[in-house]
Amino acid sequence: MKDVNRLFLDIETIPADNCNLFKPVFTEPRLTKKNEPDKRDKTVEEQESEWRNKLALSPLTGQIACYGYIKSDGAKAGYQEHDVGEKDLLGLLVEYIKEADFIIGHFVKDFDLPFIFNRCRKYGIEFPHKHYSKYKGKFSWKDSVICTNELWNCGKYPIGKVSLNNLAKFFGLQQKDESVSENFAGVWFADRERAVQHAIKDVILTKQVYERLTKDA
């Protein structure tokens, strides 16, 4: 009997090299009757700061720097380095996805896989059809893609969003370092090893949460 090939996955993203192509025009605050900047409006600097803080969250302006994954041989990470760019990283990751019977992650349907899919589109890399379908113009993930947040919600709709760390707290598991999550790009450029280890710990926690959520299944 064939062993079930489960791929636990978590990606980490940073701003793309060409993100400034998508930089919008920021406007100065309106002036009050006293000819002073309206304090209800954000300054150009504040608007740009908000824009830059969200760059890594979109496949349009972000790129995959690193991913943590677990297959049958334990937790590992794939990451960009000297001669390995995002395209190379995606090429290998797509092979793992192709081999997998199930892909499991936290918000994997809402963030990780759509991000991977669209970055693959950029490089002309074909994403495995076995995990998604298109019917009458509608895109949907197949049952082989499992989101731990959906498991937590037990079929409730609309789906409430619960962070991986809150589930870790609930189950009494060791939480991930939120300071790295909130500034992954900064950590990536300052301390590459710490960033890579964060990705590995993240996917280990995802697997632990999945096992607790499916314990009685």
* Alpha carbons 42 and 61: distance in angstroms, whole number: 22
Calculate mean pLDDT across residues 82-99: 93
According to the model, what pLDDT value does residue 160 have?
84
CB 22 within 8 A of CB 60: yes
Predicted confidence (pLDDT) per residue in 60-90, tens digit: 999 999 999 999 778 999 999 878 899 999 9
Residue with tokens 């969003």: 161
Bridge partners (DSSP) of residue 10 are: 68
Domain 6-213 -> CATH class: alpha beta
Annotated domain spans of the chain: 6-213
Q: Where are the alpha helices (DSSP H) in the chain?
A: 44-53, 86-99, 113-123, 148-153, 164-171, 178-182, 184-190, 192-213
Q: Is the pLDDT of residue 188 over 90?
A: yes
* Alpha carbons 138 and 136: distance in angstroms, whole number: 6
CB 106 within 8 A of CB 148: yes
According to the model, what pLDDT value does residue 1 have?
58
* Alpha carbons 56 and 213: distance in angstroms, whole number: 29
Q: In the numeric block, which tokens belong to residue 204?
A: 């280990």
For the chain, what percent of residues have pLDDT higher than 90? 79
Q: What does the angle CA 77 – CA 80 – CA 81 come to, to the nearest 5 degrees?
A: 110
According to the model, what pLDDT value does residue 110 have?
95
CB 62 within 8 A of CB 115: yes
Residue 103's contacts (CB-CB under 8 Å, 6 or more residues apart) are 7, 9, 97, 113, 131, 144, 145, 146
Q: Is the pLDDT of residue 13 over 80?
A: yes
Predicted confidence (pLDDT) per residue in 143-187, tens digit: 999 999 999 999 777 678 999 999 999 999 999 999 999 999 999
Q: How far is CA 131 from CA 36, 139, 148, in A?
A: 56, 11, 17
Calculate mean pLDDT across residues 178-202: 94
According to the model, what pLDDT value does residue 135 have?
86
Calculate mean pLDDT across residues 13-26: 95
Element (H, E) at 217: none
Calculate mean pLDDT across residues 37-62: 92
Q: Is the pLDDT of residue 52 over 60?
A: yes
According to the model, what pLDDT value does residue 109 have?
96
CB 171 within 8 A of CB 164: no
The distance of Cα 203 from the centroid of its chain, to the nearest Å, equals 11
According to the model, what pLDDT value does residue 217 have?
55
* pLDDT averaged over every residue in the chain: 92
